[in-house]
Amino acid sequence: MEQIDGRALILACSAIGAGLAMIAGIGPGIGQGYAAGKGAEAVGRQPEAQGDIIRTMLLGAAVAETTGIYGLIIAIILLFANPLVAKYISLLG
């Protein structure tokens, strides 16, 4: 049986962590869909307030999207600029 060294284990766990971090994209997707639906309802009820409704909806969507972007940044760091691998290499020698 072949041994797994520490670097390979760190890379495997980092890939799993990156996948888990991308689960953070589910929440913003649901929230933005909900906001768009409610915004369309509001415009249907009050067409004269369309500008204010859309502006508020877009601001809320931008705030909701930050969670997904943070998850994406964590995943990219874990996959491409993994600080744990450098720390493992520095511990070895």
Number of domains in the chain: 1
Domain that holds residue 45: 24-86
Q: State residue 18's pLDDT score.
A: 93
Q: State residue 93's pLDDT score.
A: 61
Say if 76 falls within a structural domain: yes
Say if 15 falls within a structural domain: no
Question: Using an 8 Å Cβ cutoff, are 19 and 52 in contact?
Answer: no
Contacts of 59 (CB under 8 A, 6+ apart): none
Contacts of 84 (CB under 8 A, 6+ apart): 10, 14
Say if 10 falls within a structural domain: no
Q: State residue 45's pLDDT score.
A: 94
Say if 82 falls within a structural domain: yes
Considering the chain, what is the average pLDDT of its residues?
87
pTM reported for the whole predicted model? 0.73
- The CATH number that applies at residue 67 is 1.20.20.10
